[in-house]
Chains A and B, each alone.
Chain A
Amino acid sequence: RKEVEQDPGPFNVPEGATVAFNCTYSNSASQSFFWYRQDCRKEPKLLMSVYSSGNEDGRFTAQLNRASQYISLLIRDSKLSDSATYLCVVSGGGKTSYDKVIFGPGTSLSVIP
């Protein structure tokens, strides 16, 4: 089993739709959780950190369920500019938090006019 798994995608949704991405991780000692966004042929960029209490940033909501080792990202009112690959990232649980930074394979989103 991969350490971080994501919905395989791709997701093709119309503008204005709500879309949810799921991510599971296997290391129960993991401490930090993030969603990154990666545009085609570009570098990953932090979208948001994920906290146990859940957090929201505009149209984006992230949730963490430590008991189920599950992370989610909800995008409301999708825009064309949201088209990208979304990477789930989990860190911690190793000797340091840096040798256990694990990126998921990503889920591709295409928002269609």
Chain B
Amino acid sequence: NAGVTQTPKFRVLKTGQSMTLLCAQDMNHEYMYWYRQDPGMGLRLIHYSVGEGTTAKGEVPDGYNVSRLKKQNFLLGLESAAPSQTSVYFCASSYPPTSGDTQYFGPGTRLTVL
């Protein structure tokens, strides 16, 4: 099993450009999450999904959109990137019936917006 994978690993954008980050998991987990991590701030939840076709806002959703068309994939979109979105983005998944609230993380995407 690959676990949780993220694409791309690194990206540099100019202000106003758009991009989509892809998260994929092969553990048949129902729940998936997108976080951003900034120095001194800890991880902050952007959006999450509790099943295929469902999404919900987390703590810092503004400027991001998500989609969960397939159970194994969770996409994070930036429609018009801003320098404040420079961060490391982590995707995670969990399956409460067997693993409780334990979250399994992908390796992260390092995004720089110039």
Contact = CB atoms under 8 A, between A and B. Distances in A.
B97 interface: no
Interface size class, chain B = 20 to 34
A98 to B, nearest CB: 5
Contacts of A98: 31, 33, 45, 48, 50, 56
B69 to A, nearest CB: 19
A42 B106 CA distance: 9
B74 interface: no
Given A32-B100, A98-B31, A45 B105 contact: yes
Given A43-B90, A98-B31, A91 B101 contact: yes
B41 interface: yes
B30 to A, nearest CB: 11
Contacts of B106: 43
Given A49-B100, A49-B102, A101-B101, A44 B43 contact: yes
B102 A105 contact: no
- Centre residue among B42, B90, B100 by max chain A CB count within 10 A: B42
A97 B33 CA distance: 12
A4 interface: yes
A99 B48 contact: yes
B108 A43 contact: yes
B107 A105 contact: no
A5 to B, nearest CB: 10
Nearest to A90: B101
9 contacts: A43-B107, A44-B43, A44-B105, A98-B33, A98-B50, A98-B56, A99-B48, A101-B101, A103-B42
